[in-house]
């Protein structure tokens, strides 16, 4: 098993001929992901690297290749439009890597997806990887190892740091999901925790949050009520000042809410083992496995 992606994932890459899209498509193919189609308007009929057929629309790509998952590498100005198009083509798992999408665009995109039953991961996320099965996005494959720990995170490189600690100390991963650093995202902690709880190949979950919003607090309630698997949690931004956006659009303490202290306390109340620093992840997991 694993969650959201595996060997059955058939991927269409939106923006396959762009700088980031082409680089990461090669990385994904190299990792073993089934990249069945690319999409760039005006480049339909071409073959990417001589192997992946490129289409003008996602609809064409789905009809011709039975793609079931889309990944988006297009510029922020047209990213919302790319998500709408993927949903309209019947894609049920859409992963948006693009950073910088206006939040008001997302207020229109999200209801559209809900109506069609499509899941969005991101935007502004590194994507996800089920080690040795499939990778969709930009998480470096070489730091991951197959195994039984699920990882869900709002961050990119901090996730790599923690996954690296897991892999080098013998704890492989079932799936690592980067849910994104924006205030409005398609898939939140609870969606991932619930999928990991149901996944027969996941024994424990690492949850990496940060300041801003109340997603982690709600996730803590969910863990307390609905999870039997052990969860280890980290919150970045203990030293962040209030009122300042710490890089990620969603990482901002508003007034006195959304602080790291508040989130860590919610974790502790829910029985989640709280990491004080990234290096605590392996010892805390080993105590609980």
Q: By the criterion CB under 8 A, which residues form the site for another protein?
A: 20, 76-77, 100-104, 106-108, 110-111, 126, 138-140, 143, 153-161, 164, 181, 183-184, 208, 210-211, 213-215, 218, 234, 236-241, 243-244, 246-251, 255-256, 260, 276-279
Q: Which is nearer to another protein, 136 or 249 (CB)?
A: 249
Shortest Å, Cβ 140 to another protein? 5
Shortest Å, Cβ 71 to another protein? 15
Two tokens, residue 164: 């690296």
Judge whether 187 and 121 are in contact, CB under 8 Å: yes
Q: Which is nearer to another protein, 85 or 203 (CB)?
A: 85
Q: Which is nearer to another protein, 62 or 260 (CB)?
A: 260
Shortest Å, Cβ 64 to another protein? 30
The answer to whether 164 is a known catalytic residue is: no
Q: Which is nearer to another protein, 58 or 106 (CB)?
A: 106
Shortest Å, Cβ 157 to another protein? 3
Give the residue numbers annotated as catalytic, written as ranges.
248
């Amino acid at each position: 098993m694993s969650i959201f992606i595996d060997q059955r994932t058939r991927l269409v890459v939106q923006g396959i001929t762009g700088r980031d899209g082409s680089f990461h498509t090669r990385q994904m193919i190299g990792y073993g992901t089934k990249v069945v189609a690319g999409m760039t308007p005006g480049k339909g009929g071409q073959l990417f690297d001589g192997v992946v057929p490129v289409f003008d629309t996602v609809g064409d790509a789905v009809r011709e290749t039975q793609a079931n998952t889309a990944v988006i590498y297009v510029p922020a100005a047209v990213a919302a439009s790319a998500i709408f198009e993927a949903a309209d083509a019947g894609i049920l798992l859409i992963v948006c890597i693009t950073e910088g999408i206006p939040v008001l665009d997302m207020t229109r995109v999200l209801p559209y997806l809900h109506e069609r039953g499509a899941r969005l991961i991101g935007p502004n996320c590194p994507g996800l990887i089920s080690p040795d099965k499939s990778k969709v996005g930009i998480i470096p494959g070489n730091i991951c190892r197959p195994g039984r720990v699920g990882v869900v995170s709002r961050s990119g490189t901090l996730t790599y740091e923690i996954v690296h600690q897991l892999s080098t100390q013998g704890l492989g991963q079932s799936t690592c999901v980067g849910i994104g650093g924006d205030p409005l995202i398609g898939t939140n902690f609870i969606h991932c925790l619930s999928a990991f709880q149901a996944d027969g190949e996941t024994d424990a979950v690492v949850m990496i949050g940060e300041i801003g919003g109340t997603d982690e607090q709600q996730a803590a309630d969910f863990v307390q009520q609905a999870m039997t698997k052990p969860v280890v949690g980290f919150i970045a931004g203990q030293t962040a000042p209030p009122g300042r956006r710490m890089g990620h659009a969603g990482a901002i303490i508003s007034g006195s809410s959304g602080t790291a202290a508040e989130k860590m306390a919610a974790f502790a109340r829910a029985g989640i083992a709280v990491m004080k620093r990234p290096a605590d992840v392996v010892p805390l997991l080993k105590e609980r496995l």
